C-alpha cells in the first residue's frame, strides 16, 4: 500500500517529462535590472538636485537629507506603480536568518475614491509589530516595537508574483533604544569600521584617501529533488533534511556528477532562475553540477558586500520559488542527505582601495609591500580570532559539515598555496638591514615572484583559502546569511589593520621599510601556526592542530561560547559592531534556535519511526511469520531455515525499533546531546531495516530515488 505511493511518485516524475516541447527563451539584455530602482532610475525619476543628494548618501555615506525624503518616495512610488506594484514593504533580516516582509498597500481612501500614496516617512521608517521576532531579551515585550530604517545603499526592488508585484525597500531593523535586532545593522557597522581602518593603513603607505569597497562573491550550493518525493518525506518537509535513509550503493564515489552535463529539466530550472535574478540586477554568472548527486551550484559575480549579502538572500528565495514552479524542491539545508557531501556557501571576500584590489599582489615593490602587509594582517586577524569566525558559522545544519570530517573541518586554518607560503617564509627570514641572504625577501626592494592564479588553490579542504586575489571562507553553510561571517571578518581585519597602523605611524620615512619588515616578521612568527597547506580532513591534521593550540569547536554549543569571552566582546565593542547586550542576545537566540531545531528533528524522527516505519515492518514481519508457519506445515526442510532467519531478523529489527523509539522519547526530555545520540541509534536501526524489508513494502522514498530520479 505504502509502496504504491512511492511507485506513483516515481511514475509521476517520469510522466512529467515525456516528450516536452522545448522553447528557447530569447536573451533580453534590456531586462537586466529592470526591477531595480538603480542610479539610472534615480536620474530618470528624480530632479537633478535631489538625485545628487541621494547619490552622495549612497556613494559617500553622507547622512540622508530628510528634506529630500518625500521627493525620493514620490519618485520610487511612481516607478513602482508603472511596474504594477500595489504594495510596498520594508524588507529586513531578523535573527531568524531569513528575510521578513509585511506588505502595506499604497492605497489610501479619499472619500468615495482612493489614491495611491507613499510618503517620505513611509520610505524612511517602518514599525512592524516586531514582538514575535527573536531578540534574545533585547526587546522585552512591553516595549515590543522595533523599527525598520531605510538602507539607501541597497537599492529598492520589485518582487513579482503570479498576479501582482510588491515594492521592497531594504532596511535595517533596530529597537527603539538603537540596538540591532537584525543581521544587516552589525554588517554595516563592521563595514564602516574596516573602511576607516583601511584608510588609516593606506595613509601609512603614503596613499591619498580613496573609497574603500569590501567585495563579496558568495557561491551558493543547493540540492534539487522532485516534489513528489519530497511530499512523501515528512522529515524533509519539517526539517529540510532526511533523518533516515540508507546510503545507496552508487552515490558520489564515481565522481561523475561534478561538472557533468546538466540534465534538461535542471537546465530549464537554472535558466529561469537566472532570468529572474538578472531582472533583479543580480549578476548570476556560473552554474554547474556539484559533487553529490542532485547537488548544484550558482555563483554570481562579486559585488559590494552589503548588496551581495542582500542579493544572496534573494538568490535563496528565487531558487526555492522557481523550483516550486518546476515541480522541484530546492533544499538549502547544509546536510539534507547523510553519506554524501553537504552544501556550503563559499564566501569570496576582498577589500578594494579606490579601484585597486588590496589582495592583488601587483607588480612593483610598493604594491607588493601593501599586499604583504594586508595579507599579514589577515593572518594575524584569523589566528587571533579563529574562534569567532567559527562561531559566525554555527547552526544545527552546519554542524553536520564542520564537526563531522567533512568539507571543511571545524578547525579554522589558512591555506596560502605553495608559492605564497614560500614568500611568507622568505619575508620572515629576510633581514631588512643586512645584506641579502639567499631566499630572503626585502620589503620595499624586492618584487614578488609572479603567483600564477590557477596554482594558488585547488585545496578544497581548507576553510580559509587564498585564491589569487581574494580569500575564500568555505565554512559558511548553504542556508546561512552571509552577514554574520562577514561582520566578524571585517571587524577582526579592521583591528589588525589598526594595530599595524599604530606601529607604522611612529616610523620615520627613512626607517619605514625596515620597520614594516620587522613588524610583518613579528606577525608571521607569532601567527604562522594558522597556516596549513595540507589535507584538512585527516586525523593527522586534527592532532597537529591541537599541538599548535588551534581551537576545534565541533558543535554549535562549543563554538558559540566564545561570543561572550571578554576579549571577543572587547574587540566587537571597540569597533562599535556589537555591544555586550547585542552579543549576549545573539548567543541566546542562536543557542535557543539550535536546541529547538534538534528537538524538532528528534520529534519528527520519532513520529516517522512510530507511525510510518514500525507499521510497515510489523506487516512485513507478519508476512514472514505466515510464510514460516506455511513452510512448517508442509514439513519441507529446504527453505524453512531461510524463511525463519528472515522472520527472526525482522522480529529483531522490530524489537530494536521499539527500543530505540523508547530511548528517543526519553531523550526528548533531556539535553540536545542525548537527542542526537538517540536519533543516531534509531537511524541505524531504520536504515538497516530499509535494506531488509521488501522494496515494495518500504514506505519512504529511498535515496536512490530522490537523488537520481528527476
Interface positions with ligand ADP (CB under 6 A):
215-217, 219, 286, 299-302, 348-350, 357, 467, 469-470
Considering the complex, what minimum distance in angstroms separates the CB of residue 563 from ligand ADP?
Answer: 26
Considering the complex, what minimum distance in angstroms separates the CB of residue 674 from ligand ADP?
Answer: 39
- Measure the CA–CA gap between 528 and 531, rounded to whole angstroms: 5
CB nearer to ligand ADP: pick between 176 and 259: 259
Among residues 220, 103, 114, which one has the least CA distance to residue 165?
103
CB nearer to Mg ion: pick between 220 and 556: 220
- Measure the CA–CA gap between 706 and 228, rounded to whole angstroms: 9
490 interacts with, out of ligand ADP, Mg ion, none, CB within 5 to 8 A per kind: none
Considering the complex, what minimum distance in angstroms separates the CB of residue 305 from Mg ion?
Answer: 17
Nearest residue (beta carbon) to ligand ADP:
217
- Measure the CA–CA gap between 127 and 328, rounded to whole angstroms: 36
Considering the complex, what minimum distance in angstroms separates the CB of residue 305 from ligand ADP?
Answer: 9
Among residues 315, 94, 290, 93, which one has the least CA distance to residue 216?
315
With beta carbons less than 8 A apart as the criterion, state whether 628 and 702 touch. Answer: no
556 interacts with, out of ligand ADP, Mg ion, none, CB within 5 to 8 A per kind: none
Considering the complex, what minimum distance in angstroms separates the CB of residue 311 from ligand ADP?
Answer: 11
CB nearer to Mg ion: pick between 155 and 468: 468
CB nearer to ligand ADP: pick between 88 and 349: 349
CB nearer to ligand ADP: pick between 74 and 470: 470
Among residues 612, 639, 603, 644, which one has the least CA distance to residue 625?
644
CB nearer to Mg ion: pick between 43 and 453: 453
CB nearer to Mg ion: pick between 258 and 708: 258
Among residues 446, 445, 424, 444, which one has the least CA distance to residue 524?
424
- The neighbouring-strand residues paired with 113 are 110
Considering the complex, what minimum distance in angstroms separates the CB of residue 385 from Mg ion?
Answer: 23
- Measure the CA–CA gap between 535 and 434, rounded to whole angstroms: 37
- The neighbouring-strand residues paired with 182 are 94
CB nearer to ligand ADP: pick between 215 and 478: 215
- Helix (H) / strand (E) element for 285: namely strand 284-289
Place of cell 536620474: 43
Residues 100-113: b if buried by 16+ CB within 10 A, e if exposed: bbeeeebeeeeeee
String marking each residue 326-355 x if it binds Mg ion according to CB under 5 A: --------------------x---------
Residues 117-151: b if buried by 16+ CB within 10 A, e if exposed: ebebebbbebebebeebbbbebbeeeeeebbbbbb
Considering the complex, what minimum distance in angstroms separates the CB of residue 402 from Mg ion?
Answer: 17
Query: What letter would DSSP give residue 442?
Result: -
469 interacts with, out of Mg ion, ligand ADP, none, CB within 5 to 8 A per kind: ligand ADP
Considering the complex, what minimum distance in angstroms separates the CB of residue 32 from Mg ion?
Answer: 24
CB nearer to ligand ADP: pick between 221 and 428: 221
**Other CB atoms within 10 Å distance of the CB of residue 454:** 8
Cα–Cα distances (Å) from 436 to 370, 512, 525, in that order, read: 21, 18, 20
With beta carbons less than 8 A apart as the criterion, state whether 305 and 352 touch. Answer: no
413 interacts with, out of Mg ion, ligand ADP, none, CB within 5 to 8 A per kind: none
Considering the complex, what minimum distance in angstroms separates the CB of residue 346 from ligand ADP?
Answer: 6
CB nearer to ligand ADP: pick between 246 and 284: 284
- Measure the CA–CA gap between 146 and 166, rounded to whole angstroms: 22
Considering the complex, what minimum distance in angstroms separates the CB of residue 343 from Mg ion?
Answer: 13
**Other CB atoms within 10 Å distance of the CB of residue 702:** 18
Question: For the CA atoms of 687, 693, 694, 700, what is the dihedral angle to 10 degrees?
Answer: -50
Query: Applying CB under 5 A, does 519 fall inside the site for Mg ion?
Result: no
Nearest residue (beta carbon) to Mg ion:
346
Sites of contact with Mg ion (CB under 5 A): 346
Amino acid at each position: 500500500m505504502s509502496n504504491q505511493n512511492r511507485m506513483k511518485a516515481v511514475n509521476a516524475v517520469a510522466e512529467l517529462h515525456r516528450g516536452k516541447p522545448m522553447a528557447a527563451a530569447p536573451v533580453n539584455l534590456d531586462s537586466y535590472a529592470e526591477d531595480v530602482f538603480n542610479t539610472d532610475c534615480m536620474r530618470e525619476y528624480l530632479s537633478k538636485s535631489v538625485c545628487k543628494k541621494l547619490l552622495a548618501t549612497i556613494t559617500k555615506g553622507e547622512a540622508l537629507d530628510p528634506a529630500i525624503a518625500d521627493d525620493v518616495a514620490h519618485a520610487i512610488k511612481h516607478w513602482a506603480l508603472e511596474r504594477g506594484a500595489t504594495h510596498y514593504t520594508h524588507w529586513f533580516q531578523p535573527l531568524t536568518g531569513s528575510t521578513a516582509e509585511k506588505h502595506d498597500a499604497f492605497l489610501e481612501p479619499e472619500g468615495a475614491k482612493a489614491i495611491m500614496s507613499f510618503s517620505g516617512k513611509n520610505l524612511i521608517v517602518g514599525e512592524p509589530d516586531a514582538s514575535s521576532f527573536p531578540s534574545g531579551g533585547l526587546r522585552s515585550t512591553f516595549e515590543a516595537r522595533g523599527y525598520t530604517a531605510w538602507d539607501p545603499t541597497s537599492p529598492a526592488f520589485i518582487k513579482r508574483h503570479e498576479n501582482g508585484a510588491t515594492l521592497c525597500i531594504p532596511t535595517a531593523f533596530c529597537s527603539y533604544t538603537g540596538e540591532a535586532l537584525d543581521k544587516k545593522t552589525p554588517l554595516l557597522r563592521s563595514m564602516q569600521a574596516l573602511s576607516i581602518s583601511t584608510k588609516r593603513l593606506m595613509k601609512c603607505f603614503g596613499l591619498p584617501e580613496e573609497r574603500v569597497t569590501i567585495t563579496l562573491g558568495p557561491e551558493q550550493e543547493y540540492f534539487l529533488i522532485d516534489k513528489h518525493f519530497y511530499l512523501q518525506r515528512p522529515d524533509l518537509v519539517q526539517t529540510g533534511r532526511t533523518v533516515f535513509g540508507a546510503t545507496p550503493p552508487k552515490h558520489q564515489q564515481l565522481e561523475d556528477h561534478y561538472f557533468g552535463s546538466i540534465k534538461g529539466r535542471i537546465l530549464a530550472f537554472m535558466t529561469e532562475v537566472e532570468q529572474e535574478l538578472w531582472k533583479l540586477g543580480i549578476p548570476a554568472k556560473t552554474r554547474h553540477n556539484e559533487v553529490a548527486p542532485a547537488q548544484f551550484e550558482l555563483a554570481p559575480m562579486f559585488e559590494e558586500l552589503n548588496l551581495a549579502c542582500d542579493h544572496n538572500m534573494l538568490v535563496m528565495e528565487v531558487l526555492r520559488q522557481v523550483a516550486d514552479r518546476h515541480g522541484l524542491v530546492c533544499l538549502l539545508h547544509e546536510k539534507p542527505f547523510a553519506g554524501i557531501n553537504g552544501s556550503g556557501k563559499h564566501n569570496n571576500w576582498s577589500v578594494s582601495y579606490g579601484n585597486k584590489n588590496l589582495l592583488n599582489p601587483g607588480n612593483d615593490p610598493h604594491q607588493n609591500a601593501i599586499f604583504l602587509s594586508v595579507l599579514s594582517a589577515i593572518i594575524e586577524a584569523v589566528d587571533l580570532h579563529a574562534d569567532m569566525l567559527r562561531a559566525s558559522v554555527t547552526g544545527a545544519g552546519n554542524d553536520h559539515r564542520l564537526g563531522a570530517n567533512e568539507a571543511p573541518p571545524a578547525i579554522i586554518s589558512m591555506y596560502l598555496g605553495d608559492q605564497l607560503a614560500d614568500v611568507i617564509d622568505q619575508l620572515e627570514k629576510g633581514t631588512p638591514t643586512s645584506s641579502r641572504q639567499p631566499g630572503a625577501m626585502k620589503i620595499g626592494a624586492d618584487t614578488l615572484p609572479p603567483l600564477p592564479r590557477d596554482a594558488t588553490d585547488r585545496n578544497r579542504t581548507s576553510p580559509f583559502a587564498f585564491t589569487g586575489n581574494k580569500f575564500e571562507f568555505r565554512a559558511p553553510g548553504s542556508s546561512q546569511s552571509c552577514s554574520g561571517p562577514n561582520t566578524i571578518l571585517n571587524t577582526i581585519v579592521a583591528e589588525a589593520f589598526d594595530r599595524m597602523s599604530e606601529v607604522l605611524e611612529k616610523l620615520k620615512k627613512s626607517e619605514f621599510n625596515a620597520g614594516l619588515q620587522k613588524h610583518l616578521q613579528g606577525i608571521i612568527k607569532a601567527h604562522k601556526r594558522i597556516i596549513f597547506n595540507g589535507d584538512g580532513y585527516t586525523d593527522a591534521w586534527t592532532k597537529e592542530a591541537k599541538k599548535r593550540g588551534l581551537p576545534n569547536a565541533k558543535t554549535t554549543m562549543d563554538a558559540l561560547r566564545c561570543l561572550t569571552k571578554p576579549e571577543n566582546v572587547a574587540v566587537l565593542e571597540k569597533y562599535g559592531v556589537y555591544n555586550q547586550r547585542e552579543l549576549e542576545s545573539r548567543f541566546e537566540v542562536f543557542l535557543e534556535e539550535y536546541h529547538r531545531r534538534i528537538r524538532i528533528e528528534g520529534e519528527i524522527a520519532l513520529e516517522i519511526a512510530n507511525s510510518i516505519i514500525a507499521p510497515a515492518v510489523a506487516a512485513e514481519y507478519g508476512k514472514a511469520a505466515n510464510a514460516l508457519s506455511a513452510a512448517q506445515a508442509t514439513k519441507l526442510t529446504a527453505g524453512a531455515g531461510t524463511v525463519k532467519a528472515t522472520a527472526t531478523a525482522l522480529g529483531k529489527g522490530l524489537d530494536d525499533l521499539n527500543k530505540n523509539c523508547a530511548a528517543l522519547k526519553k531523550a526528548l526530555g533531556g539535553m540536545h546531546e542525548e537527542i542526537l545520540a538517540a536519533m543516531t541509534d534509531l537511524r541505524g536501526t531504520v536504515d538497516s531495516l530499509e535494506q531488509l524489508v521488501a522494496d515494495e513494502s518500504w514506505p519512504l522514498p529511498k535515496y536512490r530515488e530522490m537523488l537520481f530520479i528527476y
